[in-house]
Every structure is written in structure tokens, then in C-alpha cells.
Amino acid sequence: MTPKPRVLFVIHRFDTKSLADSAGVLEVMNPMLASGLIGEYRLVTLGRDTDEYRCLIAQRIDEIARTSAGASCVVYGAGAHTRQFMAELGRLPIVALADRDESLQGSERLGLPVIAPKDIPRHARHVVISSRAYEEGIEADLRALHGDQITLHTLYGRNPDGALRDLWEREILDTVREFQPDLLVHTPVHPHENLAPSVFDAARALCPRMKIVTLWWDYDEAATHGSYLDYERASLAWADLVIENSNGTRLTKMRAHEPPYEHHRHTERVIFHPTVFDPALFYPEPEAPPQYEIALFGSSVGRRRDWIDRLKTRYGERFQHLGGVYEQDREPLPVADYAAALRRTKICVNTQTYPFRSQCKGKVREVLGCAVLLLEEDNPETRLLLAPGEGVEYFRGEDELFALIDHYLADDVARRATVARGQEIWRARMNARGWTERVLASLWPTQGAAHVSP
């Protein structure tokens, strides 16, 4: 084993992102390379562009239109995916959107009423599932709920990439055979589209001494079939180390095998270790004049839409909603532009999105990396990393948020002091080298010194 491990990065990029903008590159590969602790490396990437998936969905919509013979339909999913592909979905006679988020039920989205899943049969027999990450779990839940009362139509299936998947898997195995890495770092995508366990078993057979690391970006405790829980159980069987990136509190339940984790095995392999972001992009720029007083970055998904509306109403032009994907009439910001905008923001507001999970979101680490004041919707996951005043202040409702904004807009000395305390934490605990050191020491505890020495 070399002092600096040879690493094969296998990055499955999400459909809306270029490789340079993908989470696997920004949050894993580039910080690990920047740490100075990684030796020679190789990169294999998986994924296709949004336009390619748009064509696939358009073809699928044509098939659904023929199958349903023009009958009315309900689209399950009132969020980002439906908004992104509404041009294609809108070719069907949609009468309503269904969503399990109770806060959306009874409202209107995209000019359509939002209904509860239990009410679908009152509106239409045909249901189109508009979700990539949750498609399989939604399908199982709706079948259990309504049985033969409805006809379900999916957009993706288990392998929307078809023959490309075979090519990607062959490239991974060929690279392992030739490169003989010490470490394979895999960053996944949507649960039911991820590589099969057999790929990792075959890779290990080609290089028996190789360690394998993967991440869990998201989670969903409610969908028990074909979703995140299934992927978690599978990855625990083949990975030497699993990085839980967003929710640390659930690890206690997982290790006690409490529902829904009673079938999770090897849970000792999981660590709560939120990623840091590429330091070449997310860094302080103290001398640059601020461009935005108050900003919320990211897509207007789930409950974040309500927060955006409230902030705009209260602060008008002093507030900006920036970045994000799936926004009508607005292209997502390239990551370099996004990071530059964040560096020039005084106050960044960050909220949770979906009611079925709380997370320490990537925004937290992005904001800390850029030395910007973070006002964070209170959640136990971020509190595992940062106490109030450590570059962050927590709010539980509108009144608390507005009071914090007003205070820090009026007292710039206090804002700078809170940011400075956050930077002490960032430099000490949340930098690229420290993040990588913990990964390597978790994999090679008896040889850790050899892998983390200067």
C-alpha cells in the first residue's frame, strides 16, 4: 500500500448537472484531491444529459397517450420534477396533481389542483408518476392503496439508460483490472438507477485488497419499497464505508435496528460525515463588495416556495432568490457563477424542503466555505455540526427569521463577528484535508498515520 492511496472515482451524475457541476465532483472528488492525501487517480463517470432524458420522457408520454386513449389522468408529484417536464406532461389531459405533502393539498400548482393520494380515483383512473428518485416506491405505495382502481404509468423504470448501463459497468471493471486501485469511491444517483451489487462484487474480485466507499445523499423513511431504504440495505453489503451526508440522528435508530431499519446489516460501517465543497470555488472573498443583502439559493421545491414568497413580500428588492434548477423561465446557474454570487451575499437564508425528512443540506457547507452568515431553518442535523453563533443562527418561524434578518442588517459588526466564529469552526473541522483524513482513517485505522501524514 502506498502512503497516498490510488483512487478510482466512480461518479454517477444527476440528470440536471454537467460533470463539472455534479455533486460527486464538487463535494467528494475535488475536495479529496485538494487535501493532498490522495495519490494517482482515475475517473469513470455515468449519466446522461437532461435533454436526452427529456426525449425519453416525450417518447414515454406518447406511449401513455396511446394506452390511455385520451382519458383524463392525474400526475403524481406536484414538485420540481413535474415543473421541469411540464411541457411533455402537459400533452396529456391532466385534471389534477397528487402529492403526499399535506401542506400542498388543497392548493394549486401549475394551474392544477393538488389532491391527496387517497382521492385519486375520484378524479381519474390513469396516474402518471412524475418522480425520478421516488418512482418505484410511489408505484408500490399506490398499488397498495388503490389496487385495480387505477392504472399506473411510470416514466423511467429500473434502467432508463438501457444498453449504456452495460458500457458503463464494463468501463468500471476494465479500469479496476488495469489500475488496481487501493480505494474505489462511488457517488450514487437515484436509488433504483444505481449500479447493482454484482458490479461491486466483480470489482472486488478483480482487486481483492481494494476498499470501497459510497455515500447516501438523501433518505426517505416512509417509502419502504424500491427506494432509499432498499438501496441502503444493498450498499451496506458491498461497501467498506458508507458516508451519511445529511442526517446523523437516524443512525441511532439504524444501529438499534429500529423500524424501518430492522433489516439493515453492518450498520457499524456508516458514519455521519457531511461533505465539504471544492475549496477552489467555495472560499471567502472578504474584500469583494457585497452584491446581495439577503438571498435564498436553490430550487423553489416543497415548502421552500412559501419561504421565498414571504421573504419577497417582506423585503422586496433587498431579497433575491438565486440559483436552483427546474425554475420556470430561468436556467440554473453554472457552479462557478453560483459560488461567486454566494461569496458576495451578506445573509443567506436556508430552509428545509420536504416534510418527510430533515437534513444538514449542502447549502450549510457552501455558505460556511464562503464566509457568509447563514440563517438556517432549525433542524437537529445541522445542529450536530454547528451551534448557534458559529456562523449560523437558527429560526423556527417567520417572526424569528425576520427578527434575525433585521438585527443583522442593522448591526454589521455583529454579522461579521458571527461569520468570524463560523470561520474558526470551518478552518478547524470542516476543511478538505480534515474531511479526507477521517475517511482514510476509517478505512485503514491501523495504518491511518501512513495515509494522513503530510
Phi, psi of 4, deg, nearest 5: -110, 115
Q: Residue 303: is its pLDDT beyond 70? A: yes
- What integer is the mean pLDDT of 336-343? 94
- Of 136-145, 182-191, 296-305, least confident by mean pLDDT is 296-305
The pLDDT, as a whole number, for residue 305 is 83
CA-angle at 224, arms to 219 and 227, nearest 5° = 50
C-alpha cell at 204: 472486488
Helix (H, G, I), strand (E, B) or coil at 112: strand
Report the distance separating Cα 150 and Cα 187, nearest Å.
36
CA-angle at 247, arms to 243 and 251, nearest 5° = 75
- More confidently predicted of 129 and 305: 129
Q: Residue 363: is its pLDDT beyond 70? A: yes
Q: Is residue 369 within 8 Å of residue 283, measured between CB atoms?
A: yes
Task: Give, for 413, the enclosing helix (H) or strand (E).
Answer: helix 412-429
- Of 11-15, 72-76, 433-437, 448-452, least confident by mean pLDDT is 448-452
- What integer is the mean pLDDT of 82-96? 93
Confidence label for 268 from pLDDT (cuts 50, 70 and 90)? very high
Model pLDDT for residues 166-203, shown as the tens digit of each residue: 999 999 999 999 999 999 999 999 888 899 999 999 99
C-alpha cell at 61: 408520454
pTM: predicted TM-score of the whole model, two decimal places: 0.85
Could you write out the DSSP letters of every residue in 204-238?
A: HHHSTT-EEEEEE----SS--SSSHHHHHHHHHHH
The pLDDT, as a whole number, for residue 180 is 97
- More confidently predicted of 325 and 189: 189
Model pLDDT for residues 372-415, shown as the tens digit of each residue: 999 999 999 999 999 999 999 999 999 999 999 999 999 999 99
Report the distance separating Cα 169 and Cα 301, nearest Å.
33
Q: Is residue 14 within 8 Å of residue 189, measured between CB atoms?
A: yes
C-beta atoms surrounding 41 within 10 Å: 18
Confidence label for 280 from pLDDT (cuts 50, 70 and 90)? very high
Q: Hey, what domains does the chain have and what are their CATH numbers?
A: 7-48+161-278+433-452 (3.40.50.2000), 51-153 (3.40.50.720), 292-430 (3.40.50.2000)
Task: Give, for 129, the enclosing helix (H) or strand (E).
Answer: strand 126-129
Report the distance separating Cα 21 and Cα 334, nearest Å.
7
The pLDDT, as a whole number, for residue 201 is 97
Q: Residue 1: is its pLDDT beyond 70? A: no
Phi, psi of 94, deg, nearest 5: -80, 130
Q: Residue 328: is its pLDDT beyond 60? A: no
What type of residue is 402? F
Task: Give, for 362, the enclosing helix (H) or strand (E).
Answer: helix 362-369
Q: Is the peptide bond before 388 cis (omega within 30 degrees of 0)?
A: no
Average of per-residue pLDDT values in the chain: 91
